[in-house]
Chains A and B, each alone.
Chain A
C-alpha cells in the first residue's frame, strides 16, 4: 500500500539503524509516547537494531489503558440497563473494571455493540428511537474530532436518545507529568504522530525548552520510528533540545484547523484521572457546557468508586516507562489476554499485550527471569512472532 510499504523497506530500515549507530557515542534513554509505536517496535524488533546503550522505554499513549476504573464501572452499569444500546470500540471489551468487563456484560444479555467509527452510534440511535444509545467516547486528541463530529451530528438530527460517556485524554500533560517526576530517566521523546496530525506541534515547544528534552514527532512504520530515533539521538549528541517533525507528510505545524475548531467547540479541558498514574491537571476533555445535556453522566448518574482498581497490576509503572511489561511478576502467568489483570494486557496498543504477543515467555521457562535469560541466549525465536527485519515487508492489516 502506498505511503505504508515504503516505510517498511528492509534496506531502508538497515540504513537508518546504521546511521543511528554511526552517530551515537553515549547511552541514551528515549520514550516512544504512543502505544501504536510500542507495538511496531516490539513486533518488528526495532529495539534490537539499536546500538548498545540506546534504550527505548514505553510511554502512556494508550487511551484504553488509562481509562480509569470508575469510568469503566460506570460503563458496565450503563450497558447493563435494558433500555440501553452501548456502543464501543472493540478494544474496550476486555478491559477489566472492579467486577466485570463489557464482554461479560454482553454475554449476559447487555446490548453492547462494537462500532468502527463513532458515527455508527448516530445511525444506531436514529434507527432505534425507543432505546437510549450511549457512545463510549474514549481516545486522545486523534479521536476527539470524530467524537466531536458525533455530538454536532446528534444536535443536527435532534436526537434525544443519544449520549456520550466521555473519557478523553490529552498527551502533552501526561508527558509533562513524566518529566516532572524526580526519578525521570527519559532524555528524549518520540511524540505520537497521529495526535500531532490533529494538534500540531506548538504545545511541545514549552515542554522541550523547560525540561531541555528533544521531542521528535514520529510516525508509526519501522522506517519512521528509526528515523525519529535518529533525529532524537542526533539532537542529544549535539546538546540540542528542539521540537522536530519526522512525520511531516501527515503533520502540519498547526495541526488540523478544521478538526481543532470543532473539538474546541464541543469539548472543554478538564482534570482527568489516568488509570495507574493518578489525576493529571488539565489532561482530559469533557463536554462543553452547551452540550452537557448529551453527557451520559447527567442521564445515568455521576461516577462513584475508585479511579484505580486495587490489585497487583503494575500498569502505572509500565505506562510511565519505569518497568518493562516482562518485569511485572504477573506477566504471562497470572496475567494473560484471556485473564487480564490490567488494561495494558488487552488493549491493541497496550505494552503488555505487545510483549505477550511478540515476546512471549518461552515454554519451560520457570519465570520471567528465566525467559529473559533464554532470550539473551537467542533461543526464543521460533515463536512465530516476527523479529528483526524479517517481517518488515508484510502487508498492512486494515487498521482504521
Chain B
C-alpha cells in the first residue's frame, strides 16, 4: 500500500494551490496526479506518486550523487 512510483510532470492542469493537479508521465503511461503536496514541483520535475497524489519531489542532484558514490570505487 505504500508503493509509490516516480514520474515526470508534463503539464499543470489545475494551478490553484488547494486543488493543484498535473499530468504526470510514468514511463509512457500518463496520469492525472494531485500535486497539492508538492507546491514546489514544476513541469519537468520528477515526483513520487502514491495513490494518485505526489508525496515528494525527487531531488535530481542527490540522485546523481548517490549513484555516483555507489558506482565509484570508494568503500
Contact = CB atoms under 8 A, between A and B. Distances in A.
Nearest to B4: A194
Contacts of B46: 2-3
Interface string B42-75: 0000101111110110111011001100110001
B37 to A, nearest CB: 4
A256 B5 contact: no
A245 to B, nearest CB: 10
B75 A119 contact: no
A270 interface: no
Contacts, number: 148
Contacts of B1: 35, 62-64, 89, 91, 138-140, 142-143, 347-349
Residue in A3, A19, A35, A91 whose Cβ sees the most chain B Cβ within 10 Å: A3
Interface in A7-34: 12, 15-16, 19, 22-23, 34
Interface residues of A, number: 61
Contacts of A194: 2-4, 48, 50, 55
A4 B1 CA distance: 18
A348 B51 CA distance: 14
B9 interface: no
A400 B51 contact: yes
Contact of A116 (B2, B52, B55, B70): B52
Interface string A345-370: 00111000000000000000000000
A250 B2 contact: no
A45 B5 CA distance: 21
A400 B55 contact: no
A341 B44 CA distance: 46
A224 to B, nearest CB: 9
B22 to A, nearest CB: 14
B6 A1 contact: yes
A19 B70 CA distance: 10
A248 B34 contact: no
B70 A139 contact: no
Interface in A167-196: 192, 194-195
Contacts of A262: 36-37
A349 B50 CA distance: 15
B5 A400 contact: yes
B23 interface: no
Interface string A148-161: 01001100100000
Contacts of A347: 1
Interface in B3-41: 3-6, 8, 18-19, 26-27, 29, 31, 34, 36-39
Nearest to A23: B75
B48 to A, nearest CB: 5
Interface in A307-335: none
A4 B48 contact: no
Contacts of B51: 89, 116-118, 139, 143, 146, 400
Given A146-B52, A398-B26, A192 B71 contact: no
A396 B50 CA distance: 15
Given A3-B63, A62-B1, A119-B34, A12 B70 contact: yes
Residue in B1, B19, B62, B75 whose Cβ sees the most chain A Cβ within 10 Å: B1
Given A396-B27, A398-B29, A249 B62 contact: yes
Contact of A248 (B27, B29, B66): B66
A43 interface: no
Nearest to B63: A249
A251 interface: yes
Given A12-B70, A140-B2, 16 more contacts: A3-B6, A12-B71, A89-B51, A118-B52, A119-B52, A194-B50, A194-B55, A223-B70, A249-B59, A249-B63, A250-B56, A250-B59, A256-B55, A398-B29, A400-B4, A400-B26
Question: Which 8 A-B pairs have CB atoms at the shortest separation, nearest pair first?
Answer: A117-B52, A1-B27, A3-B6, A249-B63, A197-B56, A259-B37, A142-B2, A146-B53
9 contacts: A23-B75, A35-B1, A36-B3, A138-B1, A140-B1, A152-B18, A220-B3, A249-B63, A259-B37
